[in-house]
Amino acid sequence: MKGRLIKTHFSKRKCALALTTLFTLGTVSEATLAAAAQEQPQYSASEKAVAIARETIIVDGHIDVPYRVKNQWVDVTKATEDGDFDYPRAVEGGLNAPFMSIYVPASLDNSPESTQLAHLLIDSVEAIVARAPDKFAIARSPSDVKSHFEKGVISLPLGMENGSPIQGNLDNLNDFYERGIRYITLAHSQSNHISDSSYDLRRQWKGLSPFGKQLVTEMNNIGIMLDISHVSDDAFYQVVELTKVPVIASHSSLRRFTPGFERNMNDDMIKKLGENGGVIMINFGSSFVSKEAGQWRTGLTNARKALIKEEGEDSPKLENFEAQYRKEVPYPYSTLDEVLDHIDHVVELIGVEHVGIGSDYDGVGDSLPIGLKDVASFPNLVQGLLDRDYSREDIEKILSGNLLRVWQEVEDYAKSH
C-alpha cells in the first residue's frame, strides 16, 4: 500500500533527540549523548534503485550552484571538495536536470543591483556550459531536457529565486525569458514589489501587489512557470485564482510536519495546488522536513541572544558560536524516511501526479537529511520509494514526469497566446 510508513530509523532519531534535550537540562552525560548520536540510520540503494535513477530523467527544482560559485568560485564540471553538487556526483546519482537557482537576496530588492546580479549569475551558468559542453547544456524547454538526456548531457534549466530583478518592468521579464529563465519565485525572504513573503510579517500587499497580479498574466503569456515557494498564504491563493496554467512550489515541504512554519504549505494549500494541476517539489533541508530541526534553530537563536545580553555584542564567544553550540547540542538532522513521509502525504491528499523533488542542495548549508547528503544520493530516494511500494511508473512521475508535464502545459499555453 502506498504511503506505508517506515518507523524503525525514525524512532532511533527521536530517541537521540530526546537525549539531546535531557543533555541541555544537565540530566544526561556527554558520553551517553555521543553514543546516541552514533545510532543513525544507514541507507543503501539496490541495483534496481540505481538502475532506475540512471535510466530516468531526474529533475531537481532548486539547486543553488550559481550563488555558491559567486561566493567562492569552484569548477563544478569536476569533482569538488565541498558543496552538494558537481558533475561526478550528479552522474553517480543520476541527476540530469537540476534547475540552477538564479538567487537574488532580498537585501537588493528595489535596486538596479538585483537585475545586475541576476544577469551575472546567468552568465556563471553559461560559463559552466562553455567549459564543459560535453557534460552540460542550458535547457529552455522540456524537449531540450529530453534531448539532452538521450545524448548523455546534463541539462541546466534556469529558475529565478526572487522576482526582484524584474523591477516592475516587463522588458526585464522578456530579457530574462530570452536568457533562459523558466520559472520565477515571486518573492524571497521579504516582501518585494510583486508579492508578500511568508517570512515578512508586514504583509504590505495582503498577497500580491497590483503589479504582481499583472505579472501572473504576463508570465502565463510568455511561458514562465509561476513558483509560489516563499510567498505568503494570501499570495498563494491569489496566484492560483489568477493563473490560467498550473503552478509549482520549486522547493517547499509540508506544514503538517512543521507546525507554524509558513514557508511550508498546509493541507488546504496542497489541495488547491492539486485542483490547479500544479506540483510541490519537496525541500530536503532538515528544518523544512521536521519540527525538531526548527526548534533547534530557535534554541540557537535564543542562546545567542542570551550571550549577547550577558556579555555584549563584542563577546569573543560569538565568533564561533554556532559551531560550539552544535558540539553541546547536536543538530537533529532529519532522515530520508521523513522526506518520504512528506511525499506520502502529498500522494494521499492529491495524488502522485502532484509531487516532485526540490532539494535546495547548496542552499540549506549543513542541514541535509541522513541519507540525502548530496546529489549522489538520489538512488537512496528511489530505494525508499521502492520500499514503500511505489511503482516504477509513479517513481518516474515524482522524479521528473510531473514537473515536465507542468512545464509543457505552461509552454503550450504561451504558444497559443
Asked if residue 105 and residue 86 are part of one domain, the reply reads: yes
Kindly state whether residue 402 falls inside one of the protein's structural domains: yes
What residues contact residue 374 under an 8 Å CB cut-off, 6+ apart?
A: 83, 84, 85, 89, 93, 361, 368
| pLDDT-derived band at 9, boundaries 50, 70, 90 | very low
Q: According to the model, what pLDDT value does residue 32 have?
A: 45
Q: According to the model, what pLDDT value does residue 39 have?
A: 64
Asked if residue 118 and residue 67 are part of one domain, the reply reads: yes
Asked if residue 125 and residue 96 are part of one domain, the reply reads: yes
Asked if residue 370 and residue 224 are part of one domain, the reply reads: yes
Kindly state whether residue 140 falls inside one of the protein's structural domains: yes
pLDDT digits (tens, 9 = 90+) for 318-365: 999 999 999 999 999 999 999 999 999 999 999 999 999 999 999 999
Q: According to the model, what pLDDT value does residue 198 have?
A: 98
pLDDT at 266 over 60: yes
Kindly state whether residue 21 falls inside one of the protein's structural domains: no
* Mean per-residue pLDDT, 84-98: 98
- Per the structure, the count of domains in the chain is 2
The fraction of the chain above a pLDDT of 70, given in percent, is 91
323, 342, 377 - which closes a domain: 323
Asked if residue 193 and residue 307 are part of one domain, the reply reads: no
Residue pair 43/383 in contact (Cβ under 8 Å)? The answer is yes
Asked if residue 139 and residue 63 are part of one domain, the reply reads: yes
Q: CA 20 to CA 307: how far, in whole Å? A: 20
300, 323, 346 - which closes a domain: 323
Residue 362 in grid coordinates = 547548496
Kindly state whether residue 213 falls inside one of the protein's structural domains: yes
Structural domain boundaries enclosing 314 = 292-323
Asked if residue 338 and residue 265 are part of one domain, the reply reads: yes
Residue pair 93/379 in contact (Cβ under 8 Å)? The answer is yes
Between 36-45, 215-224, 316-325, the lowest mean confidence (pLDDT) is in 36-45
Asked if residue 315 and residue 235 are part of one domain, the reply reads: no
Q: According to the model, what pLDDT value does residue 30 have?
A: 52
Asked if residue 307 and residue 159 are part of one domain, the reply reads: no
Kindly state whether residue 31 falls inside one of the protein's structural domains: no
Average pLDDT, the chain: 92
Asked if residue 305 and residue 184 are part of one domain, the reply reads: no
Kindly state whether residue 242 falls inside one of the protein's structural domains: yes
- The CATH number assigned to the domain holding 122 equals 3.20.20.140
The pTM of the whole model exceeds 0.75:
yes
Kindly state whether residue 37 falls inside one of the protein's structural domains: no
The fraction of the chain above a pLDDT of 90, given in percent, is 89
Asked if residue 338 and residue 316 are part of one domain, the reply reads: no
Residue pair 279/355 in contact (Cβ under 8 Å)? The answer is yes
Kindly state whether residue 121 falls inside one of the protein's structural domains: yes
302, 323, 344 - which closes a domain: 323
Asked if residue 300 and residue 176 are part of one domain, the reply reads: no
